[in-house]
Amino acid sequence: MNKSNQDFLPFALPEIGEEEIAEVVNALRSGWVTTGPKARQFEADFVSFLGGGVEAVAVNSATAGLHLGLEALGVGPGDEVITTTHTFTATAEIIRYLGADPVFVDVDADTLCIDVAAVEAAITPRTKAIIPVHFAGRSADMDALLAVARKHDLRVMEDAAHALPTTCSGKMIGTLDSDVTVFSFYANKTITTGEGGMLVTRNPEIAKRARVMRLHGINRDAFDRFTAKTPSWYYEIVAPGFKYNMTDIAASMGVHQLKKAHVFQQKRARVAALYDEALASLPVIRPPHAGAGDVHSWHLYVIQLDNSVAVQRDQFVERMFNQGIGCSVHYIPLHLHPYWRDTYHLTPEMFPVSQRIYERTLSLPMYSRMTEADVVRVVEAVKVALK
């Protein structure tokens, strides 16, 4: 029986407090609503959150950050960039923005992150960079991947849209030895600014290039021009840039969301633990945890239906929806989408792990506001859907 909309338990919900609301109101009343003091504060706070030693550039989406990062790395026509098929299209489309070609590889069955051995096997003389994806909030094997990159003199940009505050070998994602890391603050991410992202790098030249290119290739931003001790209308266009800046309204949310990032992670980890316990006796494969001593951000809680389950994944999701439970699928692999499939002649047989995972996988509701009663309701719905 269908539940009413009032009873529907969504797949994801942001947790926004009075602090965020007050900061947004403050920005609105200040008269400075585009990129300005709040965005700069958010960038500075983000650097402090990661522990210093990096620069942060606030942008209007993680897609924008990935595009800026790859552009700053010098990727262009004729180059190849290796990434995973098991991701959202943004990870690959930014490669095409620059006229380069993505080379897709499979994922590791144990981690659901990019297969490092497959990465090394895919390297050609045209390969310029690698984009690993930290799937669902678990880190990819960055130690091995960075070793491969060093061996072949390749650049690495981490797609960390799911990975705040994930750690790898005890280090927070964003502080590793990769060239660029990009985080997402989309509405359903671990912290949110509604829309937004952050490019992080240890390389000051990459940061400088990203700042110029995020706003039309202008060598001075508006906040500099109109708030300096000697205001100047003069600026120069030094490159054909983009329109990727984050507004102060969005950054106002980010300042306070960031302060709660660890608390939010602890809440989601608690939900994951409740799921793990309740689903242990059911014919589903629970998601991989972080490596020993590391932090999983638990952006997603992804289960796979066991081969013994007769119900198909699509029917399972429909049964969950009919019980008032929102679910999703992460992801429809890129090799199945018409553009990527037809342009690069991709087939499911080329990516057996990703294909198998896709056919049997769904994501259960996961967000910091979930209660124990919510988890119980989801699990009971899973039991019904499995029958």
Task: Characterise 194 by phi-psi region: left (phi > 0), alpha (psi -120 to 50), beta (else).
Answer: left
Task: Characterise 117 by phi-psi region: left (phi > 0), alpha (psi -120 to 50), beta (else).
Answer: alpha
HSE, side-chain direction, 13 A CA sphere, residue 99: 5
H-helix or E-strand containing 151?
Answer: helix 142-152
> In degrees rounded to 5, what are phi and psi of residue 49?
-60, -40
Choose, from 38, 128, 171, 189, the residue flagged as catalytic: 189
Q: Which residue(s) pair with 171 in the sheet?
A: 168
The DSSP annotation for 330-359 comes to S---GGGSHHHHHHHT--GGG-HHHHHHHH
Q: Is 189 a catalytic residue?
A: yes
Please write down the HEC assignment for all residues of 192-244: CCECCEEEEECCHHHHHHHHHHCECCECCCHHHHHHCCCCCCCCCECCCCCEC
Cite the beta strand spans of the chain per DSSP E: 55-59, 80-84, 101-105, 127-131, 155-159, 167-168, 171-172, 180-184, 197-201, 284-285, 301-305, 361-364
H-helix or E-strand containing 71?
Answer: helix 62-72
Q: Which residue(s) pair with 206 in the sheet?
A: none
Distance of CA 376 to the CA centre of its chain: 28
Q: What is the rounded distance in angstroms from the CA atom of residue 207 to the CA atom of residue 200?
A: 8
Residues annotated as catalytic (active site), given as ranges: 189
